[in-house]
Structure 1
């Protein structure tokens, strides 16, 4: 098929490249000229394993192009995929201005029947708004569909090529057949719904996963008080098919471009319908509070943090990505500097993105993990990069001025602590903690 993808962020770029890998003729469009110039030079504006190779291969085969000319790209296409950003407004609602702009420009460029597919995460009813905007600008026939994405940054290519399921929301039999054909080689698990249900599936899925993360973090906090190990608790829970093992990893909470934005947007959607989504509000509150456990533990170990040097390992919200959107590192570093601490930070990929978005002028960016830890009064692991897991703890101990290690992602195992004098704190694993005073477990009689 001839496909045009509007937007070259994580969703648009990965989706477009993967569709070209399947043999389709794809044009990826973006209004940011510098980004398109970069892609045409063979450079990739985002860090995503495997993506650059796919881009090079499919450009060489003539199946993938990049352009700033939305009008010409729309005219060329049979299927037009909208994959622009829907960032949060200050009140938590999704900002649909980019969606509306794309719909307007599509309508002005229509030259025959098109299938308009929305991959952006949008509130329920948005596709009807897209239909209205296009119809205001064009008398040409078209159909709309909602095909939400479920890719994860860091594994986006694999997730796109090997999806759990494909959701197609449409009221057209023609669209159902064409989009089923487009996705058939990816999976046989293709679910066709009405458009509004497809829009809701995306929000409901992300909200539920965010709920699992906040739930296991609350369990971790209880484990610390009663002497249980959250990793063993999660392992045992995960074998229950009604629960599943995914997203039961305790830590310092979720971040990124999806969970924070989508949970807030769903709360707003519910509020507009006069429904108070109390559970999801608590999920958001728990997640934000979880980040500050790192600060509280540092204070319990060291007292006042003013004048202390704190090393930070990890600035991306998760490993294998350079995305720092809503990373817990922002609030943790801001709190540390406000308390008078000197902060040195290192991330193998995301440091430049963090620097562009961080307003803490005093933050020191380091080129290596060793530099960030060197002569620090404490070291905090905020992102579970494999690089950090492979550094011997005895070596980390030799770098530190004081032997305090806060493992916010539970990346180290008990045997790694052997033969060190590190004062170690993890999340929800009191039996692993070394040199940390914990309350005595409850004894139920």
Structure 2
């Protein structure tokens, strides 16, 4: 495999774009990150990282000589590989909104040259978008030539909170497109495929890790692989939550149940954690995207729809547990621990806590919320919600009628729960993430299980 450094342009500097930039720079390539957001680019030029992702800042700062940040799309001219890493949020009917992708293609099109350039779609997109990008380039790029300009689908499979490890030590690399373009991409990823790079101190190579599988396929199959993978994981989470609901009725323990079924190698333990359900930018959007694709062909997908319905029910389940104990929310003080959709990220997209805060306020509750890293982002993105920001986790408990654990941050595991419960007006904890391990001198509601053990610190 070729070891020559490539000239890379990355369009979009969000979670996917910054992670991709850090990875490719660490592999030895020259990377230019391009974004229309002037404030974000100025932050990056000052070596300030606009998102929270463990280890990302250190990796970017250790490779500054390989990185350039700009709002100028003419940087595409020097690139041999152009990654599109923009958002594709769901529209009102659930179909992915491609306006940012189309704008990115229109912005890069004037700067394509006569040399070979590979346009890589890393954004999660509907099946057939690769062909759409080709048509757009034919119409918008004066120098477009199908013999030197190729479109590749290279979906990402990163988990926010562990994106660095997922980037450096992936299970697989999926590449969809024509053979010439895929050969080029294998050259770009050669150090990753061979695992010949030096692991960063913040993300050592796992002891038993060898190298990723490389899947070479068509544009359409690569796009489908991304959607199908996320939809299947969403199904696993919703399945665990549906079983958890039945466990509460029959007296079974969901954690013991999922441990038992997860030992079956055909099932596995991952993504069987019952709780408040999934959030974030992927599972809901991608599952709905497949349903929308099926609708275009008059093909119903009831299993995927059920996964979405169960996930929505989990959020209402928390409200129902509160109402069962408190009877009414009017005038009640409710604390929410955790705002990000999962721990180790500040991403608030489709966060379950958003739904809880919104619904509690509608029911007349006074809400106080805390998150270890997402507070500032929430102040910007959730400014329309009615809640108070807590200066620390302890403030969430003060005179509260109930506290909801909405995100399973390790910081919350380490709290002195007995001392904090003593500051509540009514000691009621809705542990929607099954975080607590030992009972408290309080009423504790978990999901699909009852808290067992000896009275003591909840660790």
TM-score of the aligned structures, taking structure 1 as reference length? 0.93
What residue number does 1:84 align with?
A: 86
RMSD: 1.5
- Aligned: 1:57 with 2:62: yes
How much has 1:355 moved relative to structure 2? 2.5
From the superposition, tell whether residues 239 and 145 of structure 1 become closer, same or farther in structure 2 (CA, over 3 Å). same
Q: Deviations over 1:109-150 (max 9, x none)?
A: 111220111100011111111011112223343111100000
CA distance in 1, matches of 2:219, 2:270: 28
Kindly state the Cα deviation for residue 31 of structure 1 after the two structures are TM-superposed. 0.9
Per-residue deviation at 1:338? 1.4
Residue 231 of structure 1: which of 242, 255, 264 is its match? 255
Partner in structure 1 of residue 3 of structure 2: none
- Specify the alignment match of 1:339 in structure 2: 363
CA contact (8 A) 2:357 2:385 kept: no
Find 2:35's aligned residue among 11, 14, 30.
30
Q: Structure 1, residues 30-49: CA drift from partner, whole Å, max 9, x if none?
A: 01111000000010110011
**Maintained 8 Å contact 1:320/1:385:** yes
1:44 and 1:64 map into 2 onto residues whose CA distance is 13
Cα distance in 1 for partners of 2:358, 2:126 equals 32
Mapped contact 1:227–1:431 kept (Cα < 8 A): no
Q: Unaligned regions of 5+ residues in structure 2, if any? A: 1-5, 193-210, 455-459
State how far apart, in whole Å, the 2-side matches of 1:361 and 1:66 are. Answer: 34
Contact 2:170/2:212 (<8 A) preserved:
no
Unaligned runs of 5+ in 1: 435-445
Q: Which residue of 2 aligns with 1:429?
A: 449
Deviation at 1:354, TM superposition (A): 2.0
Per the alignment, residue 3 of structure 1 pairs with 8
> Where does residue 320 of structure 1 map in the other structure?
344
- In the superposition, relative to structure 1, how do residues 431 and 389 fare at CA in structure 2: closer, same or farther (>3 Å)? closer
Give the match's secondary structure for 1:28: strand
Matches within 5 A, 1:270-419: 270-358=294-382, 360-414=384-438, 417=439
Question: Is the Cα–Cα contact under 8 Å of residues 237 and 273 in structure 2 kept in the other structure?
Answer: yes
Task: Tell me the CA shift for residue 100 of structure 1.
Answer: 1.4
SS in 2 for 1:88: coil
1:179 equivalenced with 2:199 (yes/no) = no
Q: How many residues align?
A: 426
Asked whether the equivalents of residues 121 and 202 of structure 1 are also in contact (C-alpha less than 8 Å), the reply is yes
Aligned to 2:97: 95
Deviation at 1:431, TM superposition (A): 5.5
In structure 1, what is the Cα distance between the partners aligned to 2:129 and 2:186? 22
CA distance in 2, matches of 1:188, 1:231: 31
In the other structure, the counterpart of 2:153 is 146
TM-superposed deviation, 1:184: 3.3
Counterpart Cα distance in 2 of 1:361 and 1:105: 35
- Equivalent residue for 2:275, pick from 214, 234, 251: 251
Deviation sequence 1:164-195 (CA, Å, 0-9, x none)? 10000012x22222212222332341111111
* Secondary structure of residue in 2 paired with 1:197: helix
Q: CA deviation at 1:70?
A: 1.1
Partner Cα distance (1:373, 1:360) in 2 = 23
Partner-residue secondary structure (3-state), 1:168: strand
Shift of 1:394: 1.1
What is the alpha-carbon distance in structure 2 between the residues aligned to residue 249 and residue 184 of structure 1?
A: 35
Within the alignment, does 1:45 sit opposite 2:65 as a pair? no
Per the alignment, do residues 209 and 361 of structure 1 end up closer, same or farther by CA in structure 2, a change over 3 Å counting? Answer: closer
Structure 1 residue 276: Cα displacement: 1.0
